Structure formats: structure tokens, C-alpha cells
Amino acid sequence: GDSVTQMEGPVTLSEEAFLTINCTYTATGYPSLFWYVQYPGEGLQLLLKATKADDKGSNKGFEATYRKETTSFHLEKGSVQVSDSAVYFCALSDGTNAGGTSYGKLTFGQGTILTVHP
Amino acid sequence: ETGVTQTPRHLVMGMTNKKSLKCEQHLGHNAMYWYKQSAKKPLELMFVYNFKEQTENNSVPSRFSPECPNSSHLFLHLHTLQPEDSALYLCASSQEPGLAGEGTDTQYFGPGTRLTVL
């Protein structure tokens, strides 16, 4: 079955440091890939997504590139802020309907806790 | 109200109680989901409703009973729970492809209900 593996946390960085959170996946088809973020006391919010190989998703200074050859979708940010402290989840969506639009249930990684200090 | 809302935000119940969690989405979506988020475990998909029909039940114990009266509302009825059922229960919605093929695989999450079973 499908699976997502994230790097173990927690990750602790100083403000303005470079961030990488590794994510690799296993899937039988051609999934869409996502990063979700969960701030303290809140639900998950979509951070970025990529729907096919070599696509780059980006939002709020975060980026991730869909690498089919290495089955990876690593999250990066050049300069983190204290406000980026949260839990980050990598996920994939399986299934493609007849019209070619990818949809389906999400499979999540275990989440990586990021803490950024001033 | 916009987005996905969940009530109550916090719930404490005994093992013999019966309670219900409510989720409402204001996004015009046609699919809704229940997830369980436990400490140190990946998010677990519990149920999927697509066009009000249950399309997924991930081997969830019968003490959890979902109900989807329409495409905007989703309930999770709880009875005779166990302490290990204590977790954050998240609701999500998405627009699944219809006959015209439109849709997206992005799920939008509510803030969750923090459940404690004593």
C-alpha cells in the first residue's frame, strides 16, 4: 500500500536558518503530493502541493519539488521565522478518476515538529 | 462562517457516555472525512463520505458511528469509548470530481475536537 516517511523530529532552528524536512513516499500510481502545516491548537492547513513529476509547489517562502526518480518531496525554506514553528505533514493522494483529475484519500507521514528560536 | 467548523472543540467523557461530534463545511464541497490524530502516530483516516454515501471505513470499531445527513454536515457518534480513543478528531472536506470531471484532491481541515475519555 501507499506510505509516506518523514524525517524524525523534532527539528530546532534559530531564526533565519535554512530548513529542510525530508519526505519520501511509496505509491503504486502517480499520486499528488502535499505538505500540510498544523499550528498549535489548530487543524491542518494546506501549505503547498505538486501534482506531477518535476512540479514545484511553493507558498510563504516554502518550496518542495516532486522528484519521481527518488520518490521524494522534501520541504525547504531559505530563512525560517519564529512564526513557522508548527508541525509539518507530508502527504500523498492516491487515485485518479476517469477524467484524469487526481483525487482520493490522503496518506500522511508521521509529522515533523519544527521549533524556531529567536 | 467560512471553511470547516467543528464542535465542540474540547470534550471529556466517561466510558459509558454517549456523545456526538459535529462538523460543518461552508465550502460547497461534496466529500467529507473523519481523521483521528493520536500522539506519536500518523493521522489515521476513519471514514469517507462522498455525495453523502460512505465510501470508506478503515476498520473503525463500531463504537464510532458516522452520520452524513447532507453534503454540508458530518457527525461522529460516540458510545462506550475506551481511554485509548482519546485523541484529536479532525474533519475535512474536498470537492470530488463529478460527472464533468471537475474537482480537486485538496482537503480542507477543521480545527478538530480534542476528546478525552476517562
Chain B residues touching A25 at Cβ < 8 A? none
Cell numbers at B60, concatenated: 473503525
Kindly indicate the confidence band of residue A93, based on its pLDDT and cuts at 50, 70 and 90: confident
Counting Cβ atoms within 10 Å, is residue B4 exposed (0-12), middle (13-18) or buried (19+)? buried
Chain A residues touching B30 at Cβ < 8 A? none
Strand B31-37, strand B87-94: pairing: antiparallel
- Hey, of B30, B51, B105, B108, which one would you mutate to test binding to chain A, going by the most A CBs within 10 A of its CB? B105
- Hey, of A3, A32, A105, A113, which one would you mutate to test binding to chain B, going by the most B CBs within 10 A of its CB? A105
pLDDT, tens digit (0-9, with 9 covering 90-100), for A35-80 = 999 998 888 999 999 988 999 999 999 999 999 999 999 999 999 9
Q: Is the pLDDT of residue B68 over 50?
A: yes
pLDDT at position A100 is 43
